């Protein structure tokens, strides 16, 4: 199969030296890319700024910085992909104007006008064919199950991986994760805290189960 995976954060520039970002390291998305490649699939990994890299030779890395760049890269590979896993932590907003020079510290307060970025999963989810499998992620701090389920339906995903900021050892920066899968048929699968490499195996297994059910 051809598999498209996104990973890492996006950096939205304020001026030539500053940006707005998040704490994503890309560990989860990279583990997913390596797992699908280990099963013999051709993988494209669209990766935001991170010092980490995929280890498998079948992973082609496309490095981007901003949400707009990530959207363009994903749009390039989406239609030809059989499986798409949106694991990146993409910025929801980006500065409306980017200063061409470094902004000097002058005033006591400083405001930045922000505009929405394109919702990559939602935009491409509208182009999804019945043959494609789309997997998303939801990192939530409250109303977790409700928010994840709404995101699953709104973005036309086959299943979503919910992980919570409430659990120690899960989320950004950790080598482990604690997740729950929710699929479009309402099935729920809960997992214990485990290494992200093992979570990647669970995600790949679930994708292969969907494929088997369709045959």
Give the residue numbers marked as catalytic.
Answer: 22
* CA gap 31, 5 in Å, rounded: 10
CA distances, 12 to each of 19, 65, 86, 98, 191 (Å)? 5, 8, 19, 9, 33
* CA gap 63, 46 in Å, rounded: 6
Beta pairing partners, 13: 19
Local structure of 58: helix, strand or coil: coil
Count the helices and strands in the chain (H runs, E runs): 5, 14
């Amino acid at each position: 199969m051809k598999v498209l995976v996104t990973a890492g954060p996006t950096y939205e520039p304020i001026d030539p030296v500053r940006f707005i970002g998040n704490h994503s390291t890309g560990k989860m998305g990279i583990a997913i890319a390596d797992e699908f490649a280990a099963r013999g699939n051709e993988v494209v990994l669209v990766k935001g700024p991170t010092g980490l890299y995929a280890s498998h030779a079948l992973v082609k890395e496309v490095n981007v910085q901003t949400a707009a760049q990530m959207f363009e890269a994903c749009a390039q590979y989406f239609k030809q992909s059989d499986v798409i896993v949106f694991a990146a932590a993409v910025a929801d907003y980006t500065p409306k104007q980017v200063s061409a020079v470094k902004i000097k510290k002058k005033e006591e307060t400083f405001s930045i006008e922000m505009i929405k970025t394109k919702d990559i999963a939602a935009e491409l989810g509208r182009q999804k064919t019945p043959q494609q499998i789309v997997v998303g992620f939801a990192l939530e701090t409250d109303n977790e199950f409700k928010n994840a389920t709404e995101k699953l339906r709104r973005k036309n995903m086959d299943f979503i991986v919910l992980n919570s900021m409430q659990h120690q050892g899960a989320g950004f920066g950790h080598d482990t994760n604690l997740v729950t899968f929710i699929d479009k048929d309402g099935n729920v699968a809960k997992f214990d805290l485990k290494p992200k490499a093992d979570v990647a195996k669970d995600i790949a297994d679930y994708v292969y189960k969907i494929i088997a059910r369709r045959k």
